[in-house]
Amino acid sequence: LAKTTQPISMDSYEGQEVNITCSHNNIATNDYITWYQQFPSQGPRFIIQGYKTKVTNEVASLFIPADRKSSTLSLPRVSLSDTAVYYCLVAEGTGFQKLVFGTGTRLLVSP
Amino acid sequence: EPEVTQTPSHQVTQMGQEVILRCVPISNHLYFYWYRQILGQKVEFLVSFYNNEISEKSEIFDDQFSVERPDGSNFTLKIRSTKLEDSAMYFCASSVGREDTQYFGPGTRLTVL
């Protein structure tokens, strides 16, 4: 089971780029890295997923170094509505993805 | 864009009562899950379900819990005799394949009095 470690909280201002780094030293060969966003009293929302190098979509970018022991979620030009908890997850290898959520990173975006 | 839906959004019940939480997964998805989140705590896996069978369950998912896919669209979680500590947000999720992205519903807030 690959455990993830990410900062408990981060603060930013509107318009800034935010980078949230997650470490997962024990990631297995078959594991993917997935990031979810959660607003209060709502279900987790998928943001991005990757295996190695860089993945970009309309919401964020995910940077994964060659050793895959960490990953960085990059949110360009955040707005107030990006205030949420962000979870880094590593899928438990093959078979069902029993997603294991940590405490996440609470991002607060201020005006 | 297809979404997972859940009903009701909020359920209040008395301790010892049975509750059924309902979910409609995304239509072409084959794998279904229930998670829960006690207020202020982590999202916790409860159970995964495929081909009308439970594939994996956590230690939380004891004999008081059951899941069912009663028809081609609904996926339900039943708690037979609710306890105070069952109060939580319950999230349903679904995925196309076993290693594909899981998409979560908005949740049902269960309050046990």
Average predicted confidence (pLDDT) for chain A = 91
**Residue A108 backbone phi and psi in degrees, to 5:** -115, 120
pLDDT of amino acid A2: 67
Q: Do B107 and A41 touch (CB under 8 A)?
A: yes
Per-residue model confidence as pLDDT tens digits over A30-61: 888 999 999 998 999 999 999 989 999 999 99
- Tokens for A38, please give them: 């959660």
- Rounded to whole angstroms, the Cα distance separating A73 from A19 reads 6
pLDDT of amino acid A94: 46
- Rounded to whole angstroms, the Cα distance separating A61 from A46 reads 13
Q: Which of A28-37, A76-85, A87-96 is predicted least confidently?
A: A87-96
For testing contact with chain B, the best of A88, A96, A100, A103 (most B CBs within 10 A): A96
- Tokens for A36, please give them: 């979810």
Would you place residue A3 in the very low, low, confident or very high pLDDT band (cuts 50, 70, 90)? confident
Q: Do A96 and B98 touch (CB under 8 A)?
A: yes
Select the residue of B33, B56, B107 nearest A42 (Cβ to Cβ): B107
Q: Which residues of B touch A102 (CB under 8 A)?
A: 42
Would you place residue B21 in the very low, low, confident or very high pLDDT band (cuts 50, 70, 90)? very high
Name which of B106, B93, B86, B107 is nearest B18 in CA terms.
B86
pLDDT of amino acid B100: 84
**How many angstroms away from the CA of B27 is the closest CA of chain A?**
18
For testing contact with chain A, the best of B101, B103, B108 (most A CBs within 10 A): B101
Would you place residue A99 in the very low, low, confident or very high pLDDT band (cuts 50, 70, 90)? confident
Closest chain A residue by Cα to residue B10: A41
Average predicted confidence (pLDDT) for chain B = 94
Would you place residue A72 in the very low, low, confident or very high pLDDT band (cuts 50, 70, 90)? very high
Per-residue model confidence as pLDDT tens digits over B61-71: 999 999 999 88
